[in-house]
Structure 1
Amino acid sequence: MDKNYCDCDENNENNEKKVKDFINSLEHQGCIVQEGELRYIDILKYCSEGLVNSALGNNAGAPYALALVPPSPNQESDIEFITEGVPYKLRPDEAIVLIGKTPPKAYYYSFRSFLFFVKNKIGKYYSDNSTVGNDKTGKYHMIFGSLGDTINNYTIKTENTPDRILGYPYDSSTIIITTADQYINHQIRKTLINSGFSSDIMNNDNIPKDLVNMGLEKGKDTFAILMRASIWENKDIGQAYLDNLDKYWHVLRITPKKPIQPEHPWPIPTLKMRETCKTEFNLLPHARYDLNYLRYKILEKYDSEEYEAIDLRTNIWVMESFEAIMMDVNVLGESRDALYLKTNNFQLTSDDDFIITYGVNHTKTGNAVYYNSSFYGAKKLNGVSVIYSPDCEGSANEFFPKDSEVSDNYYVYKMARKGDGNCTAIIPYSTGNPKGSCYGVNNYQEAFIGFRLYLNQETLVGPAPYNVIWDQAILFRKKKSTQHQIIKNEA
């Protein structure tokens, strides 16, 4: 059970002792305790290697980690995705407990359990690419829907932010308890406290039992616990944390030897309200004029006889997870902390083509802690290039008159094959990419732009889709008659 923490100090040794006491106490109570791990998952790598057929709309540049949970004792083999332990099934009387240290400073991090794969419905068609399993395990398809609001760096209880007191929620001890029953949760908390842990650092990651189909048998639902992070203050420190998650976290599966009949399931939660009275339409009453002016200035700078300017259409990308569970739809790990928008599909037809994304500065209006624009391959849903809002403050200034009072209300980003200024995201190729094919997108492959807005600063949940002014994009496509040579990469 010993772990060699990177910063082995007295506090870490004390925590390790508490973990051992916690496990010993559970075993004396008649529980089987198995340890898994929290592992950084580079989904583009797995997709490039053909281990998965989709990158699941990854937030480019934002790392993910999954809890690898061992099977329940005496459980038969079951479906796998990416690696063993993902996903997992759960009895209603079992618990998953994560004990560890939160990520280093970042704009955002979160933890949440998801409904991952569910049994195929009788009489409903599912494409072979969207299903996993076989006759022995049963056939499943992905939902990847969040089971409630997230535990994030603004709401988490840690040693530095006990009982959610404002403070520094980074590099701080915390505990996350996943259960489907309030009594099981109570017993876990009681044992943790008796082992020396403070209740002030314990966070509930509840599974609403009536929304899922729990159990270990063939056809029962599967789950996953996901950690995600965005925009490290120090990239090297952030990557070192990701590379050593096993030294910072215990992932424990707790199973009563004698099954308990749960009598107090967690109810389906009332989710945080996304809507506020302060919409961007109210806050920026001249936005229609400003955005039309901004578009005109973008065309004035970039449009020419050599280019065709094509306005892309923006719409909502994924529905909310509870709706997805009811509608039997894959929402790709949707988090309630974000609003997801996307453009219609398009193709780059030459290396000279590029995209300009523009819109409202959502952090200034208070509707986001950060926002970004990402370039995706449509077939694999692989995010390969991204621009984050903190890196492009003042990016719209050049398009407005000098000393304009409104320019900071907006942004302008560019996505291209070649660099052009600080706010340009480079679009890599798929063919010949040294990292792997899914780290890039070729010309003549279907693509789209995805937009994310993370955390309304008042509600601390993703903004309501109609409270914000949607981001926009223009494709500038080199006219074929002006191209000296067109190199068409194989799709």
Structure 2
Amino acid sequence: MIGKTPSGVKFFNYPTFMVFRTIGSERAMIFAGLGDSLNIGTIQAETGTDGFDQPLMIIYSADKTIAERVQSFAIAAGYPASMNHIKQIPSPMVNMGLEEDDESFGFGIRVGVFDTPKVQDQYMSDVYTMYRVYRLTPNQSQPLNPYPVSDLRIRGTGKTEFDLMPPVNHLRDAIIAAYPGYTYQEMKTGISFPESSQVMQNNEQAYGENRDATYLGSEKFTLKEGQFAVSYGVNHAAFGKVVYSNIVAYGAEKINGVVTGDNTQFEGRASRYIPDDPNAPMLYAYTITRTESDEPYTMNVPTGPYLEGIPLDEEMWIG
């Protein structure tokens, strides 16, 4: 794949997925991430730049000899070594080939949090011409030199946000107190999608999970006209744990994300409930409703059309 990296965003990466696998006589979608992704951080480290608007070539291969051969051809053709990146596909984990029952793969481009709506519109206009993908096949077969399973990057630092538990509980109590005329139901939250390597072993659906994100989510619930939900907790970006964080309203049946808010919109949202708490800037509170509203701190969930909304009688969840 040849192109250039995005600009005007907080994050981007290029995840690799094993998408379909044959199980018995059935073709099943697995949609599992394969190892770590090339992302803004790795490109910054490898190129010594800010990572934005950089020329890019990614060679996806399960064979070391083939990958390095293609890389040498690219450099000889004038593509700088600094733009060349090899994404190793772990041979022991996949079944490659061109037969109908072999596994199929997908190579994604993911961006997060545009600087301005204008930048977003420009990216969406340009993205279909930003990259070119070529499948290369050697003219002659040669001995295989498969890549092993690579070591994974360590995702955590050991530093937690548990010191903010008392302020989060304070925020919870303040939210409940702010709506004295309502009954409420609290939804449990947890990890929505386990790591792809675990899911692949069980031949289950990974839903496009990749290791550059942690997928947390609530229990399923319905949201009728006149009802609303409040998502609250730690603003992980303000705390310094992440590059960005967001919340998304998903349809439970189709797992279609229909509306989102990100940490650039979280500032001040907890302070309306706990204005005197010094930890409020580290927290957020976001209202999810069915009613069209221009009120700040509110996310309106549409009912359609089709994948662009969640019908009133269908379950949803907040990720």
What is the TM-score when the length of structure 2 is the normalising length?
0.94
Contact between 2:191 and 2:217, CA under 8 Å: does it hold in 1? yes
Contact between 2:235 and 2:266, CA under 8 Å: does it hold in 1? no
Matches of 1:405 and 1:118, distance apart in 2: 51
Matches of 1:248 and 1:439, distance apart in 2: 26
Indicate whether 1:437 and 2:314 are aligned. no
Contact between 2:269 and 2:297, CA under 8 Å: does it hold in 1? yes
Letter in 2 for 1:272: R
Corresponding residue of 1:149 = 36
Corresponding residue of 1:448 = 317
Helix, strand or coil at the partner of 2:186: strand
Return the offset for 1:442.
Answer: 1.8
Relative to structure 1, the CA distance from residue 362 to residue 245 in structure 2 (aligned partners, 3 Å threshold; closer, same or farther) is closer
Post-superposition CA distance 1:105-138 (Å, at most 9, x none): 2011111221100002x3xxxxxxxxxxxxxxx6
Post-superposition CA distance 1:242-301 (Å, at most 9, x none): 333343222111111222331x211101111123221112xx2xx332222111110111
Matches of 2:271 and 2:126, distance apart in 1: 42
Corresponding residue of 2:64 = 182
Indicate whether 1:289 and 2:166 are aligned. yes
Matches of 2:252 and 2:57, distance apart in 1: 38
Higher alpha-carbon Rg: 1
Corresponding residue of 1:339 = 214
Matches of 1:293 and 1:237, distance apart in 2: 38
Determine which of 147, 169, 173 is the counterpart of 1:266: 147
Return the offset for 1:380.
Answer: 1.1
Contact between 2:14 and 2:110, CA under 8 Å: does it hold in 1? yes
Relative to structure 1, the CA distance from residue 202 to residue 406 in structure 2 (aligned partners, 3 Å threshold; closer, same or farther) is same
Contact between 1:417 and 1:427, CA under 8 Å: does it hold in 2? yes
Relative to structure 1, the CA distance from residue 303 to residue 335 in structure 2 (aligned partners, 3 Å threshold; closer, same or farther) is farther
Which ranges in structure 1 are unaligned for 5 or more consecutive residues?
A: 1-97, 123-137, 431-435, 451-491
Helix, strand or coil at the partner of 1:251: coil
Which ranges in structure 2 are unaligned for 5 or more consecutive residues?
A: none
Return the offset for 1:414.
Answer: 0.6
Matches of 1:317 and 1:201, distance apart in 2: 35
Number of residues of Structure 1 aligned to a counterpart in Structure 2:
318
Matches of 2:275 and 2:40, distance apart in 1: 38
Alignment RMSD: 1.6
Helix, strand or coil at the partner of 2:147: coil
Matches of 1:442 and 1:183, distance apart in 2: 52
Return the offset for 1:240.
Answer: 2.8
Corresponding residue of 2:233 = 359
Helix, strand or coil at the partner of 2:237: coil
Indicate whether 1:117 and 2:20 are aligned. yes
Matches of 1:366 and 1:246, distance apart in 2: 33
Matches of 2:127 and 2:179, distance apart in 1: 45
Matches of 2:128 and 2:166, distance apart in 1: 53
Q: State how 1:72-111 maps to structure 2 within 5 Å.
A: 98-111=1-14
Matches of 2:275 and 2:302, distance apart in 1: 34
Determine which of 38, 41, 46 is the counterpart of 1:163: 46
Post-superposition CA distance 1:16-48 (Å, at most 9, x none): xxxxxxxxxxxxxxxxxxxxxxxxxxxxxxxxx
Corresponding residue of 2:194 = 319
Letter in 2 for 1:444: D
Helix, strand or coil at the partner of 1:370: coil
Matches of 2:127 and 2:185, distance apart in 1: 45
Q: State how 1:32-43 maps to structure 2 within 5 Å.
A: none
Matches of 1:258 and 1:245, distance apart in 2: 35
Matches of 2:193 and 2:213, distance apart in 1: 11
Letter in 2 for 1:409: M
Return the offset for 1:210.
Answer: 0.8
Contact between 2:223 and 2:289, CA under 8 Å: does it hold in 1? no
Determine which of 350, 364, 370 is the counterpart of 2:244: 370
Contact between 1:162 and 1:201, CA under 8 Å: does it hold in 2? no
Indicate whether 1:407 and 2:280 are aligned. yes
Return the offset for 1:421.
Answer: 2.9
Corresponding residue of 2:184 = 309
Q: State how 1:124-139 maps to structure 2 within 5 Å.
A: 139=26
Determine which of 116, 123, 131 is the counterpart of 1:249: 131
Helix, strand or coil at the partner of 2:236: coil
Relative to structure 1, the CA distance from residue 250 to residue 401 in structure 2 (aligned partners, 3 Å threshold; closer, same or farther) is closer
Return the offset for 1:384.
Answer: 1.0
Letter in 2 for 1:141: A
What is the TM-score when the length of structure 1 is the normalising length?
0.62
Matches of 2:127 and 2:240, distance apart in 1: 33
Indicate whether 1:397 and 2:271 are aligned. yes
